[in-house]
Every structure is written in C-alpha cells, then in structure tokens.
C-alpha cells in the first residue's frame, strides 16, 4: 500500500478537486493507497471538507492540529501516521501533478528509496527565481548536504527512508536538508511548473527569507565559522592600518583630518560584531528550542481508520 501525506492549510477551495484528481489517477493505475490529510490549523472550512471526504472515502484519513504549526510539522505528523510500504508527500494545491505518481511508483519498484520530483521555475516571478538561484548557490557552498533548485517536498520515500527521517528528532526541521541527510538511492523526475489555480501561496517574502535562514543555520555551524573568519580578517586589517598610521604620525606628526577613517572603521567593526553576535544568538536560540523538547504539533482531532496502525514515535 502507498501512503499519501497531504499537508493542508486553508485549502478549502481546492480540496475536493484534489481528492478527485488523485483518486482518479490511483484507481486508473490500480494502486492500493491511503490518503492522510493533515489540517495544519486552517482558518477556513478545510477541516469540514476533510470530514466530508473521509466520510465518503474509507481510504482517506485526517489529522487536525490545534493551531498552525507549519508545513514541516504537518509533514512529520503525516509520516508518523502513515503505514504504507512507501509514502508520498504532496501539496494539496495541485501544484504537484498527480499524473507523475505512476512514474514515481515505477522508480520505487526499480529499487530507489527516494524518488524526487524537480520542477522548472516557469511562470514564477523573476525576482523569486533570482533569489532561489542565489540561495541554492550560497547554501551548497555552506552546508554539508547538497540541495538542488526546484526540488520540493513532492517525493516518494520508501519505508526505510521514512523510518530514517522519523529517527531524526530535532525540533527545527528543515526537510530539504533532512531528506538529503538520510541518503539512500535517489531518482529524479523532472516536470513543468504548475501555477496554483485556487487559493494563494502561503509564503510571503519574509517567510521565505526566514525559511532560507532556517536552512542555513540548522544544518551546520559554518556560518559561525564565517563570522570568526570575517572577524579575524577585519582585526588583522585593522592592525596593519594602526601600524601604518602610527608610522605616518612619527614621520609627519599628527594630521587632524582623520575623521573619515575613524568613523568608517568603527562602523565596519560594529557591523561585523553585530553579525557575529547575531549568528551566535541564532545557535543559542536553537539550543534553547531543542532543549525544551516540545512536541512538533498538538492534535485536536483525528480520524484514522483502525487498519491504519498508529505509529508510536511522535
């Protein structure tokens, strides 16, 4: 059986269509399945619609959070409750085309543990594409795992890959990094980007920026080291500057107009110090969150059929 994990946040307008689209593909291809919808604290009627769907389709289940915990938590909950031999994670907005499913299953049967889909950035704003490009450049230079542009969360994971993911208990979850960290044989399928038809993207620019920071910080400590390198560079440059000025003073006596250089070096140093403190603060913040060992989500209600055995590890 294949489990589908579908995080939903304010997806009221499209859920019925999504359900129809995915079940059509699954039935046409004779794939045994279960659908696990995770309502991530939606403010619209998402949960009511999920109830309707699960009432009519015995293979559909839902878990509903007490508030919005974010897509990472929703995916984790879905993985926790999944019981299939392989699990596919899909967005509810039909941007992850269901017609790719048979191809993904085929790759899984060929022996791949992770089947990844990679989209083009067609139809996306130029600025977003540019930032994404820059981000992946920067990330891959800085972190220990490799990320690829256009690879999202639409993927198939074998049971052992899912178990590996679930064994990672960190509070700050950055899936793109975690998927890559667990390893296993990967197979990539490319597809053309699909525009969101209904509802709108939940990511504002600020949220994307935060997400980018999360990825950078939670995956290694190189930024910390970068701060040290930058600090050392500035300090050494400063020592040369002091020596140079000192010699100048011995030779020519004190020349008054040094205002510009003083202000600029103070400003520069101040900047470097603030960056370094910020980086350290980020790590301390992470330690703080991890040490609290809070659950990733709180479930308000759920409907998971009895044949779906609840997996214990939260």
Q: Cβ of residue 129: shortest distance to ligand UDP, in angstroms? A: 13
Q: What are phi and psi of 36, to 5 degrees?
A: -115, 105
- Identify residues 175-214 at the interface with ligand UDP (CB under 6 A): 196, 201-203
Q: Which helix (H) or strand (E) holds 128?
A: helix 126-142
Q: Cβ of residue 96: shortest distance to Mg ion, in angstroms? A: 8
Residue 305's SS3 state is coil
In the complex with ligand UDP, the residue whose CB is nearer, 137 or 196, is: 196
101 binds, among Mg ion, ligand UDP, none (CB under 5 to 8 A by kind): none
Q: Is 93 in the site for ligand UDP (CB under 6 A)?
A: yes
DSSP secondary structure code for residue 88 in this structure: E
19 with 68: CB under 8 angstroms? no
CA distance 101 to 113: 15
Q: Is 93 in the site for Mg ion (CB under 5 A)?
A: yes
Q: Is 40 in the site for ligand UDP (CB under 6 A)?
A: yes
Number of residues that bind ligand UDP (CB under 6 A): 17
71 binds, among Mg ion, ligand UDP, none (CB under 5 to 8 A by kind): ligand UDP
Q: Is 223 in the site for ligand UDP (CB under 6 A)?
A: no
Residues near 165 by beta carbon (within 8 Å), at least 6 away in sequence: 79, 157, 178, 179, 182
Q: Is 220 in the site for Mg ion (CB under 5 A)?
A: no
Exposed (0-12), middle (13-18) or buried (19+): which is 19, by Cβ within 10 Å? buried
Number of residues that bind Mg ion (CB under 5 A): 3
Contact segment (CB under 6 A) with ligand UDP among 87-95, 100-108, 271-279, 295-303 equals: 87-95
Residues near 137 by beta carbon (within 8 Å), at least 6 away in sequence: none
In the complex with Mg ion, the residue whose CB is nearer, 93 or 214, is: 93
Nearest to 15 by CA among 56, 40, 41, 48: 48
Q: Cβ of residue 34: shortest distance to Mg ion, in angstroms? A: 23
- Interface residue with Mg ion, options 23, 68, 83, 95 (CB under 5 A): 95
CB atoms near residue 46 (< 10 Å): 24
* Token pair 């017609």: residue: 99
Q: Cβ of residue 206: shortest distance to ligand UDP, in angstroms? A: 14
- Identify residues 1-20 at the interface with ligand UDP (CB under 6 A): 7-9, 11
Contact segment (CB under 5 A) with Mg ion among 87-95, 126-134, 150-158, 171-179 equals: 87-95
Q: Cβ of residue 182: shortest distance to ligand UDP, in angstroms? A: 21
* Token pair 């031999």: residue: 85
* Token pair 């130029």: residue: 126
Q: Which two tokens stand for residue 88?
A: 């596919």
Kindly list the residues in this chain that would bind ligand UDP in the complex (CB under 6 A): 7-9, 11, 40, 68, 70-71, 74, 91-93, 95, 196, 201-203
């Amino acid at each position: 059986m294949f489990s589908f994990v579908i995080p939903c946040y304010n997806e009221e307008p499209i859920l019925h269509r999504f359900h129809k689209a995915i079940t059509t593909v699954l039935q046409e291809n004779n794939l045994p399945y279960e659908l696990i919808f995770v309502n991530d604290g939606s403010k619209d009627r998402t949960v009511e619609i999920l109830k309707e769907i699960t009432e009519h389709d015995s293979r559909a289940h839902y878990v509903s959070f007490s508030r919005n915990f974010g897509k990472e938590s929703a995916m984790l909950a879905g993985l926790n409750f999944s019981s299939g031999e392989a699990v596919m994670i899909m967005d509810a907005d039909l941007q992850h085309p269901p017609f790719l499913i048979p191809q993904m299953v085929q790759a899984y049967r060929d022996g791949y543990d992770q089947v990844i889909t990679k989209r083009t950035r067609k139809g996306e704003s130029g600025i977003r594409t540019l930032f994404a490009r820059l981000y992946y450049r920067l990330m891959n230079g800085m972190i220990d795992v490799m990320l690829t542009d256009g690879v999202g969360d639409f993927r198939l994971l074998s049971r052992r890959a899912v178990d590996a993911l679930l064994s990672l208990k960190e509070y700050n979850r950055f899936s793109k990094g975690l998927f890559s960290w667990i390893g296993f044989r990967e197979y990539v399928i490319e597809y053309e980007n699909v525009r969101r038809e209904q509802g709108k993207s939940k990511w504002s620019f600020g949220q994307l920026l935060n997400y980018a920071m999360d990825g950078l910080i939670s995956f290694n400590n190189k930024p910390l080291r970068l701060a040290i390198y930058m600090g050392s560079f500035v300090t050494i440059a400063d020592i040369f500057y002091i020596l140079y000025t000192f010699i100048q003073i011995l030779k020519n006596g004190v020349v008054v107009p040094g205002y510009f250089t003083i202000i600029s070096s103070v400003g520069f140093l101040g900047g470097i110090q603030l960056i370094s403190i910020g980086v350290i603060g980020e790590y301390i913040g992470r330690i703080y969150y991890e040490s609290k060992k809070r659950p990733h989500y709180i479930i308000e209600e759920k409907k998971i059929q009895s044949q779906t055995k609840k997996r214990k590890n939260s």
